[in-house]
């Protein structure tokens, strides 16, 4: 998928600020034109407004956007492989939300 303003993504957040959840939806406010398609795994950079389970609506800039959370976590692990596990920073990434598979009958019939 391609990032664009208005698209919804998921971002990693500290559970203390999100009612115990470590991810939250966010709205892309800017998709940077930088090309990181040659990275492993490839990613884009985006600015996002986070929709936390509280009153604050924080803004993050230049967040790497991956296809899946697993890709984001793998890139984070590779980047901080030489840092002891207890001293690593929190995951700073975004990914596309999983798309549920449609089941028979869950779409309205065409008229």
Residue range 17-71, pLDDT digits in tens: 999 999 999 999 999 887 777 777 778 899 999 999 988 889 999 999 999 999 9
Tally of domains within the chain: 1
**Widest CA span in the chain:** 60
90 domain residue, yes or no? yes
Tokens at 34, concatenated: 């930088």
Instruction: Give the integer Cα–Cα distance in Å for 43 and 62.
Output: 11
Instruction: Give the integer Cα–Cα distance in Å for 73 and 57.
Output: 24
Integer-rounded Cα Rg, in Å, for the chain is 16
15 domain residue, yes or no? yes
101 domain residue, yes or no? no
109 domain residue, yes or no? no
Reference 52, options 29, 19, 28, 27; nearest CA is 19
* Residue ranges making up the domain that contains 13: 8-95
2 domain residue, yes or no? no
The pTM is what?
A: 0.82
110 domain residue, yes or no? no
Instruction: Give the integer Cα–Cα distance in Å for 79 and 88.
Output: 10
């Amino acid at each position: 998928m391609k990032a664009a303003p208005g698209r919804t993504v998921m971002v990693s957040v500290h559970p203390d600020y999100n009612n115990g959840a470590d991810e939250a939806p966010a709205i892309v406010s800017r998709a940077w034109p930088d090309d990181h398609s040659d990275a492993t795994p490839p990613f884009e950079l985006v600015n996002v407004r986070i929709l936390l389970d509280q009153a604050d609506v924080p803004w993050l800039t230049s967040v790497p956007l991956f296809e899946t959370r697993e890709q984001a976590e793998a890139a984070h692990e590779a980047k901080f492989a030489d840092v002891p596990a207890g001293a690593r920073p929190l995951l700073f990434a975004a990914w596309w939300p999983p798309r549920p598979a449609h089941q028979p009958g869950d779409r309205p019939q065409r008229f």
